[in-house]
Structure 1
Amino acid sequence: MPDDTFIDLFSGAGGLTFGLQRAGLTPIYALDAWSDAIDTYRLNLPGHTAECGDVADLTANKMKSIIPQRPNWVVGGPPCQGYSTVGKRNRNDQRNRLFEHFRRIVQYLEPDGFVLENVLGLKDMSYEQEVAEAFREIGYRVRFQVASAADHGVPQLRRRVLFVGHREADFKGLDPLLQADQYVSVEQAIGDLPKLQPGESATMYDAPAKSDFQRLMREEMIELQGHTASKHPPHLVEAISHIPDGGNRTSIPDHLQPKSGFHNSYSRLASWLPAVAVTQNMGKPSGTRCIHPKQDRGLTTREGARLQSFPDSFFFTGPSTSQRLQVANAVPPLLAESLGRSLLDPDHWA
Structure 2
Amino acid sequence: MRFMDVFAGCGGLSLGLLKAGCEGVVAIEKNPMAFETLKHNLIDGARYQFQWPSWLPKQAISCEDFLEGFGEKIRLLRGTIDLMVGGPPCQGFSTAGRRDPADPRNKMAEQYLELVKIVLPKFIVIENVSGFNSKFSEAKCSGCDEDHHFKKSYADFISGELSKIGYSVSRGKVNCADFGVPQNRRRYIIICSLSGTEGLLETLVDKRQEFLQLKGLPVARPVSVYEAIADLQTRGRELVENSDSNVKGFFEAVYKVPQISSPYLAIMREGFYGAPNSRRLPRHKLDTIAQFGRIQSESQPGRSLSKEARDKLGLKKHAITVLTKNAPSPTITTLPDDIIHYDELRILTARETARIQSFPDWFEFTGKYTTGGKSRRFECPRYTQIGNAVPPLLAEAIGHLLLEQAVCLDDGELNKTYKGPANATPEF
Counterpart in the other structure of 1:157: 184
| Residue 120 of structure 2 is aligned to residue 110 of structure 1 | yes
- Counterpart selection for 1:62 from 64, 70, 79: 70
CA distance in 1, matches of 2:66, 2:41: 24
Aligned residues: 337
- Counterpart selection for 1:339 from 398, 403, 407: 398
Counterpart in the other structure of 2:262: 211
- Change in Cα spacing, 1:13 to 1:347, as seen in structure 2 (3 Å) is closer
Over residues 209-234 of structure 1, what are the superposed CA-to-partner deviations in whole Å (9 max), with x where a residue is unaligned? 44111111112322121111211110
Counterpart in the other structure of 2:368: 319
Contact 2:74 2:119 in 1 (8 A): no
CA distance in 1, matches of 2:309, 2:168: 57
- Counterpart selection for 1:272 from 323, 326, 329: 326
Write the mapping of 1:15-164 to structure 2, written as runs, cut at 5 A: 15-45=12-42, 46=44, 47-48=49-50, 49=52, 50-59=58-67, 62-65=70-73, 69=77, 70-125=80-135, 126-164=153-191
Counterpart in the other structure of 2:232: 193
Counterpart in the other structure of 1:235: 287
Q: CA deviation at 1:205?
A: 2.2
Counterpart in the other structure of 2:421: none
- Which amino acid in 2 is paired with 1:121? G
Secondary structure at the counterpart of residue 57 of structure 1: helix
Secondary structure at the counterpart of residue 70 of structure 2: helix
Stretch of structure 1 that moved more, 253-262 or 91-100 = 253-262
CA distance in 2, matches of 1:99, 1:51: 21
- Which amino acid in 1 is paired with 2:384? L
Q: CA deviation at 1:329?
A: 0.3
- Change in Cα spacing, 1:59 to 1:207, as seen in structure 2 (3 Å) is closer
Q: CA deviation at 1:97?
A: 2.5
Secondary structure at the counterpart of residue 154 of structure 1: coil
CA distance in 2, matches of 1:257, 1:106: 50
Equivalent pairs: percent with the same residue?
Answer: 32
The normalised TM-score by structure 1 is 0.88
CA distance in 2, matches of 1:30, 1:119: 21
Counterpart in the other structure of 1:302: 351
Contact 1:202 1:224 in 2 (8 A): no
Gapped regions of structure 2 (runs ≥ 5):
53-57, 136-152, 213-217, 240-249, 371-380, 408-428
Secondary structure at the counterpart of residue 299 of structure 1: coil
Secondary structure at the counterpart of residue 59 of structure 1: helix
Secondary structure at the counterpart of residue 59 of structure 2: strand
The normalised TM-score by structure 2 is 0.73
CA distance in 1, matches of 2:7, 2:121: 17
Gapped regions of structure 1 (runs ≥ 5):
none
Stretch of structure 1 that moved more, 46-55 or 318-327 = 46-55
Secondary structure at the counterpart of residue 331 of structure 1: coil
Secondary structure at the counterpart of residue 360 of structure 2: coil
Q: CA deviation at 1:347?
A: 9.9
- Which amino acid in 1 is paired with 2:301? G
- Change in Cα spacing, 1:140 to 1:313, as seen in structure 2 (3 Å) is same
Over residues 308-343 of structure 1, what are the superposed CA-to-partner deviations in whole Å (9 max), with x where a residue is unaligned? 000011100000110000000000000000011111
- Counterpart selection for 2:221 from 182, 185, 190: 182
- Which amino acid in 2 is paired with 1:306? R
- Which amino acid in 1 is paired with 2:350? T
Larger Rg: 2
CA distance in 1, matches of 2:384, 2:113: 26
- Change in Cα spacing, 1:200 to 1:134, as seen in structure 2 (3 Å) is same
Q: CA deviation at 1:206?
A: 5.2
Contact 1:192 1:210 in 2 (8 A): no
Secondary structure at the counterpart of residue 220 of structure 1: coil
Q: CA deviation at 1:194?
A: 3.5
- Which amino acid in 2 is paired with 1:89? R
Q: CA deviation at 1:236?
A: 1.5
